[in-house]
Structures are given as C-alpha cells and as structure tokens.
Amino acid sequence: MSMHHYVACDLGAESGRVMLGTLDNGRLTLEEIHRFANGPVAVNGSLRWDVLRIFDELKAGLRKVAARGIKIESISTDSWGVDYVLLRNSEPLLTPPYHYRDARTDGALERAFAVVPADEIFAQTGIQFMPINTLYQLLTDQSTRPWALTAATQFLNIADYFNWLLCGVAKAEESLASTTQLYDPRHHRWSETLIRKFKLPQLQPEVVASGTILGPLLPAIAEETGARGAQVVASCSHDTAAAVAAVPAKGNGWAYISSGTWSLLGIECPVPIITDKSRHYNFTNEVGYGGSIRFLKNIIGLWIQQECRRAWQKEGRNFTYEQLGALAAQAASLKALINPNDPRFGKPDNMPQKIVEFCRQTGQMPPTTEGEFSRCVLESIALLYRKTLEQMEDVTGKPIKTLHIVGGGSQSVLLNQLSANATDRTVVTGPAEATATGNILIQAIALGHLKDLDELRQVVRNSFAMQTYKPQENWDAAYERFQKLAA
C-alpha cells in the first residue's frame, strides 16, 4: 500500500482545525497543521457565525500544508449539525448565519406543533425534538424575516457550505442532512410532506451519500492555497457521523459516546427505530456512513464545564482543562449533583451561578471551589450517561455491555472512570481525534485506498492506543439521587 495524504477541515463549536492525515501501510498518522478559535459573534442582539473568517482560516491551513511540499489527494469538511447558510445563486451568503444557541428559536417547538403534531414530525424524520434543529430555525426565519427565505435559492448546512466554497459543488451530504429534522431516513430523501405542510420554500440541495467525490478544488482556491490536484469529498459532513465511523469496535453489545461540547450517545442500527417509545425518550435517528442509522441521543456534554471555565477566566482565574480535572479528582465524591438537561444549563453566561442556584433549589450544599464545581459537573454527566443507556436498552431490548468513548472528552481520565462507575459498564476510550480520523479514512474509501468500513476500523485499531476502564464503585444510591433530580 502506497502513502496517501488527505486533509480534514474539522470544525467545532469552540475551535477549528486543519488536520493532515497520512495513510501508510494500513496505519494512519494525524497532524494538526492549523488551529483557530471559533465561537459565536454577538451582533445586534443575536449570535452569529463568522463563516467568511472561518473560510480564511481553512485556506491558511491548506497553505501551510502546501508549503511543506505535501501533495494532498483530497479534502473534506465536517462540522456540527443544524445551522445553515442561506445562499442566492453564487453569492457567498445572504446574511451571517445564526448560531444554534441564539434565543430566536425559544418557543419554536410549540409553534411548530400547532401546525403539524409532534408525532407526525417524528414519524417523518425520527429526529429528537430540540428547538435548535434546522426545521425550527427555518420556521423562525419564515415568521420573523420572510424576506431572507424569499431571496434565497438554497440553504447549505455548515460543512456542506465550506465544501461548496472549496469546489463550487453545492450538495447536502446525507449524515448532515439527517440532523435537520426535515429528512426522511427511511426513504433517504427530504420530507416533502413536512416541507409542504409547513409551507417552506424549496431550498433543499440534492442529497449525496457519505463518501461522495464532489470534484476538484476551484482553480482560484488551488492557486491561492497551493493545494493543486486535490479532490473535495463529502465524507461524513456531520462531525458525529465521522467520529462514529472511527469507533474501533467489534461485534455486538456496544454503544458509543462522541464526547465534547455535546455528548452524542448511541448505537449503530441497520434501519431507523421510529416508535412511540423512542419518541417518548426523545431519541434520534441520524444517518451514518453507508446509510446506517445512528440511533442516539444528543445530550449536554462538556459544555457546562466549558462555560464554568469561561466564567472563571473573566474573573482572572485561568485554568486548563487538565488543571480542572486534577482539582476535580481531589474534590469529595458525589457531594452535589445537577440535572444537565435542566434548560438553564443550555444557555451561556455565569454557569457556576446557575449550578449554585440549582443546588439550593434542590436542597443540596452547592460547590464552592473550582474542583468541586468540576466534579459536580462530571459526575452528573456520567449519571446522565447511565440514564440514557438504560432508556436505549428499554427501546431496543438489547443489552449494552461496553461503552466506547471517542473525541476530545475521552482525554478526561476522571470522566472516563466516573462513566464506568456510574454506568457499571466497561469503558474503552480512544481515539481522541475520532472526527478527523473518520473524515480522513472515509476520504480514503472514496478514493479507493480502503475497501470498506470494516477495513477503516481495522486501520483505527492499528493506529491508536485504547484505554480500558472497569467499574470501581457501586453508584446505585447516587443514581437514585440523580433520578429524583432529573424528574
């Protein structure tokens, strides 16, 4: 097997990276070439994404790769789901796209259900109900700024948008399209029923399968960056789909968590599970590589800790995540717990104060130190994992014995052990760079350098070290406490 080079443009809610992947003799090596800060821009009372600056950063990363004399064979972008850019023909954007945490969709679910009942929306899409979903953002556009939808000729979700800027081909990759709650995963197409009933304009791009070669870089981009001859691939445009493809699992009885700002906890299925029970538990059926279904729940993850860290930074107390993990490890166990699903924790600003308020309202002694806050958050997340796994077993009737944790959150040794304790399951962690790994190795399949998903996962096992955590404590009493808080 000869050596091949690929680039993953990996966009997250806190940062973006340009990652170089080299596949050589069945092993993958990754190198971070360029990293830049990402996040919402507050403007005129709204939260927006500065997508043109992000595009400039991606091109800067490509230039750094080309400056080293490396010939890139392909490029692909992955990102979070639901957000989108409105386009008019070749215009790069109509308005700066909204950030999913913008308050404009507050109450959007109730407004939508008044038009189409929730059970019908779920029957069409199998997607969990969150006001941030593309459907509710578009309906908010429809009611508050209809001129934007009238002027637009198309929308593209975030990663597909950057693939379009790179190669000029505007397509919706299936895994990302499936996050919108406008996509029918049974028939692998947009839901014309919902589009018609909500009277939405026909702005949906053509859907393509994961691993579709879109075309070469635009000549001007190739000249500007030096990445001549590279193909742009729609690998898995949704970051979680790319991460799940890189889960190094074998056999049955396993679930995954793509751990980061969000925790995406789920299993792989051949077909969607669209039932009354899955809707009751608010599970989702997103599409994965090869048309598989990622039956999962999108739950709050390290966002709460990230917001605590931001609040402390504003007060001049600067901590790395490693330092916060060490402080949490020294703090008393199971002193205070929160319900991460409480709506207050989904919004930014002064997260430590919100934790204090929750603890006081539930009759608990609030945390007082950074270590206590961090431990409270991590233990609560681990207990939410257990609750979600039990719901998943109830829906499927199949036991889950092993939990694979991938992504940046898998580097938290304390959270990994707490997850094993809380869930009473074996936890296997790694790779930390699962999203970039999946993105790059799906490109390798698209170009014919790997055969299929099984070979992809074998490359992952060959390339990255895994860590195993066994339960060390019985957390049944803590789980009873948590259940009462979650109720």
Peptide bond before residue 431 is cis, with ω within 30 degrees of 0: yes
Residue 197: what pLDDT?
98
CATH code for the domain of 234: 3.30.420.40
Based on the fold, state whether residues 73 and 215 are members of the same structural domain.
Answer: yes
Q: Is the pLDDT of residue 39 over 70?
A: yes
Total number of residues shown for the chain? 487
Based on the fold, state whether residues 233 and 313 are members of the same structural domain.
Answer: no
Alpha carbon distance 207, 210 (integer Å): 10
pLDDT band at 1 (very low <50, low <70, confident <90, very high): low
Residue 422: what pLDDT?
98
Based on the fold, state whether residues 275 and 337 are members of the same structural domain.
Answer: yes
Based on the fold, state whether residues 283 and 175 are members of the same structural domain.
Answer: no
Eight-class DSSP state of 238: B
Catalytic annotation, residues: 239
For 255-275, how does the pLDDT look when each residue is reduced to its tens digit (9 = 90+)?
999 998 889 999 999 999 999
Alpha carbon distance 406, 36 (integer Å): 22
Residue 428: what pLDDT?
98
Q: Span 323-345, mean pLDDT?
A: 96
Based on the fold, state whether residues 68 and 160 are members of the same structural domain.
Answer: yes
Q: Are the CB atoms for 27 and 276 separated by under 8 Å?
A: no
**Structural domain contains residue 438:** no
For 88-109, how does the pLDDT look when each residue is reduced to its tens digit (9 = 90+)?
999 999 999 999 999 999 999 9
Based on the fold, state whether residues 208 and 285 are members of the same structural domain.
Answer: no
Q: Is the pLDDT of residue 42 over 60?
A: yes
| Nearest partner of 172 among 93, 95, 82, 258, judged by Cα | 82
Tokens of 440: 């790059």
Q: Is 463 helix (H, G, I), strand (E, B) or coil?
A: helix
For 392-422, how does the pLDDT look when each residue is reduced to its tens digit (9 = 90+)?
999 999 999 999 999 999 999 999 999 999 9
Based on the fold, state whether residues 9 and 78 are members of the same structural domain.
Answer: yes
Q: Span 39-67, mean pLDDT?
A: 97
Q: Span 215-232, mean pLDDT?
A: 97
Based on the fold, state whether residues 252 and 235 are members of the same structural domain.
Answer: no
- Structural domain including 105 reads 4-239
**Structural domain contains residue 486:** yes
Helix (H) or strand (E) holding 314: helix 303-314
The string of DSSP letters for 402-414 reads EEEEESGGGG-HH
Task: For the sheet with 212-216, list strands across it.
Answer: 27-37, 15-24, 4-11, 74-78, 231-234, 212-216
Residue 17 forms beta bridges with which residues?
Answer: 10, 35
Q: How many other C-beta atoms are found inside a 10 Å radius of the C-beta of residue 175? A: 32
**Structural domain contains residue 435:** no
Alpha carbon distance 192, 206 (integer Å): 13
Based on the fold, state whether residues 231 and 301 are members of the same structural domain.
Answer: no
Based on the fold, state whether residues 312 and 184 are members of the same structural domain.
Answer: no
The string of DSSP letters for 95-158 reads SPPBPTT-GGGTTHHHHHHTTS-HHHHHHHH-----TTSHHHHHHHHHHH-HHHHHH-SEEEEH
pTM of the shown model:
0.92
Residue 486: what pLDDT?
85
- Tally of domains within the chain: 2
